[in-house]
């Protein structure tokens, strides 16, 4: 089949790779000049099946209300007249009830485990070398935090997820660079979890996809998708913004891409640049457009409750290799992650509903510096860090949508929220199996758009 993938974040690149591996002819459209230019750029990097839980959790709505009135600078909901956001919040509140939460957590766990295994398999098979570490330590500051974690641990036991409760001394043994003066009651250690550089992985996977003849069209905005007609599949209308280096070099590098194909690809690139607006039919179209996926689907009659939930990261070089974290950590109270990326440390967190990608809120970024100072004071050169803001593509309830859209030939791989890196490889493999008519590794019914169709009709 000829398949278009819209979006070259970690989800789009993974989808393109898996589809190409199955023998499809794949074209990726991306408005940025390379892969992983948005939410997949500098995320926390954590891949932890045991710790991936819906944001819609019991107690979260009241916590959000409390924190919005100034207690925690990392949490903000901007007041709005936007009906879509209120609807989203209503659905989120309903999904945070205990029974729904447990169900969604179980579904996320299954997908994250599958995804982590797929990522490991791909990395080994394709000999990928990227910044990654093994293990995750969840830090619990007080006895109250330890007590509050117990219900989540009971659920993990029920779901058969391996973890180890550790005391303060064991936490320091696992992370010798951690501040001994910081209050710490204990922790939870997930030995099977890992952290890795999502952006690096996406670049490696892009190269692997190009070796399978995937065409990447960078600097290209998809303006509209129209349903198929007259025996043809859906039509994709694009506007070429610029003839970027990435665009031209796509497919040109690898030796196994025949010269004629490379030339043809370049010719098509140049033609599109001269005639920027063009349209093309495909047998299938995969929407992997992150937080903006809703804009492409609404004109097709599918109104999905997807909202950007903004967060920040700062990445700074370590003063010496033995300082800073050895692996990944999460400050559970503040929901801030620390990950070791080569000789750098990345601190990520924050949850802002409303606002924009461009406007950095000072309080949000400063709070990350404070958390770094709590746990690893003086460990990093913080004079010139990379400060980044990203938009998590959030559905109100938790699990992403992976599978067919109601419109023939349109497929969804979106709404991966705060765990898109952890979920990408598995979601992509599931989607490729569904498109190819093969039995997926597990029943993906929970990821079907059916759960939102009532909303799109309403
Ligand atoms: C602060 C922060 C920390 C995080 N930490 C973690 C973590 O530790 N672990 C984890 O698993 N996840 C984490 N996440 C979440 C993770 O980063 C996202 O879930 C994931 O990157 C989403 O990937 P995506 O491919 O769906 O979206 P994106 O990476 O945003 O990709 C979507 C792409 O579609 C393109 N696009 C959209 N519309 C169009 C159009 N019309 N035409 C052309 N191109 C288009 C965009 O340019 C973009 O490149 C974090 C996120 C944030 C913000």
Q: Report pLDDT digits (tens) over 77-112.
A: 887 888 999 999 999 999 999 999 999 999 999 999
Q: What is the pLDDT of residue 183?
A: 97
CA distance 197 to 174: 21
Residue 221 CA: which ligand 1 atom is closest? 42
Angle between helices 10-21 and 420-435 (to 10 degrees): 30
Does the structure show a pLDDT above 60 at 285? yes
With cut-offs at 50, 70 and 90, classify the pLDDT of residue 262.
low
Residue 311 in tokens: 């967060």
Ligand 1 binding pocket includes 4 (Cβ within 6 Å): no
Residue 371 in tokens: 């958390």
Q: What is the pLDDT of residue 276?
A: 75
Q: Which of 9, 76, 327, 400 for a ligand 1 pocket mutation test, highest count of atoms within 8 Å of Cβ?
A: 9
The terminus-to-terminus CA distance of the chain in angstroms comes to 34
Q: What is the pLDDT of residue 61?
A: 85
Beta strand pairing status for 186-196 and 46-47? antiparallel
Domain with CATH 3.50.50.60 in the chain: 2-40+200-304+398-457
With cut-offs at 50, 70 and 90, classify the pLDDT of residue 269.
low
pTM (global) more than 0.85: yes
Domain with CATH 3.30.9.10 in the chain: 53-82+131-194+307-394
**Least confident piece of the model among 61-70, 187-196, 203-212:** 61-70
Burial of residue 147 (number of CB atoms within 10 Å: 0-12, 13-18, 19+): exposed
Q: Which of 32, 115, 421, 423 for a ligand 1 pocket mutation test, highest count of atoms within 8 Å of Cβ?
A: 421
Residue 339 CA: which ligand 1 atom is closest? 8
Output the CA torsion sign for 118, 101, 190, 48: positive
Beta bridge partners of 392: 309
Closest C-alpha among 166, 391, 183 to residue 292: 391
User: Which CATH architecture describes the domain 2-40+200-304+398-457?
Assistant: 3-Layer(bba) Sandwich (3.50)
| Mean pLDDT, rounded, for 66-80 | 77
Q: What is the pLDDT of residue 458?
A: 40
Instruction: Kindly indicate whether the domain formed by 53-82+131-194+307-394 is annotated with CATH number 3.30.9.10.
Output: yes
Beta bridge partners of 388: 313
Ligand 1 binding pocket includes 292 (Cβ within 6 Å): yes
How far away, in angstroms, is 388 Cα from ligand 1 center?
13
Q: Report yes or no: 252 and 245 within 8 Å, Cβ to Cβ.
A: no
């Amino acid at each position: 089949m000829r398949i278009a993938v819209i979006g070259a974040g970690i989800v789009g690149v993974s989808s393109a790779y898996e589809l190409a591996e199955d023998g499809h002819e794949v074209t990726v459209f991306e408005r940025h000049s390379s892969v992983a230019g948005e939410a997949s750029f500098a995320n926390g990097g954590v891949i932890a099946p045991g710790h991936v839980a819906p944001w819609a959790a019991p107690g979260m709505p009241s916590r959000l209300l409390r924190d919005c009135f100034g207690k925690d600078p990392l949490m903000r909901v901007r007041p709005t007249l936007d009906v879509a956001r209120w609807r989203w919040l209503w659905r989120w509140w309903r999904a945070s009830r205990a029974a729904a939460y447990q169900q969604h957590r179980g579904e996320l766990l299954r997908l994250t485990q599958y995804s982590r295994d797929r990522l490991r398999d791909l990395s080994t098979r394709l000999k990928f070398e990227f910044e990654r570490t093994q293990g995750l330590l969840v830090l619990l500051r007080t006895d109250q935090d330890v007590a509050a974690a117990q219900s989540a641990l009971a659920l993990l036991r029920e779901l058969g997820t391996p973890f180890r409760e550790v005391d303060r001394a064991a936490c320091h043994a696992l992370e010798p660079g951690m501040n001994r003066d910081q209050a710490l009651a204990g922790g939870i250690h997930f030995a099977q979890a890992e952290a890795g550089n999502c952006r690096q992985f996406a670049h490696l996977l892009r190269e692997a996809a190009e070796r399978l003849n995937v065409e990447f069209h960078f600097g290209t905005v998809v303006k509209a998708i129209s349903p198929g007609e007259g025996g043809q599949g859906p039509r994709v209308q694009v506007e070429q913004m610029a003839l970027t280096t990435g665009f031209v070099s796509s497919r040109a590098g690898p030796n196994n891409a025949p010269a004629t194909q490379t030339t043809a690809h370049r010719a098509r690139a140049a033609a599109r640049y001269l005639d920027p607006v063009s349209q093309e039919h495909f047998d299938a179209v995969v929407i992997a457009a992150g937080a903006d996926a809703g804009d492409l689907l609404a004109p097709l009659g599918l109104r999905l409750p997807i909202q950007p939930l903004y967060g920040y990261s700062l990445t700074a070089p370590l003063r010496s290799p033995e300082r800073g974290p050895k692996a990944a950590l999460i400050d559970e109270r503040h929901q801030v992650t620390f990950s070791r990326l080569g000789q750098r440390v990345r601190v990520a967190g924050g949850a802002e509903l409303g606002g924009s990608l461009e406007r950095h809120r000072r309080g949000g970024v400063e709070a990350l510096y404070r958390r770094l100072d709590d746990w690893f004071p003086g460990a990093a050169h913080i004079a010139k860090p990379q400060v980044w803001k990203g938009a998590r593509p959030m559905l109100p309830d938790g699990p992403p949508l992976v599978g067919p859209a109601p419109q023939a030939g349109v497929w969804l791989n979106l709404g991966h929220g705060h765990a898109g890196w952890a979920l990408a490889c598995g979601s992509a493999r599931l989607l490729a199996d569904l498109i190819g008519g093969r039995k997926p590794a597990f029943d993906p019914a929970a990821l079907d758009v059916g759960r939102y169709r009532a909303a799109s009709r309403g």
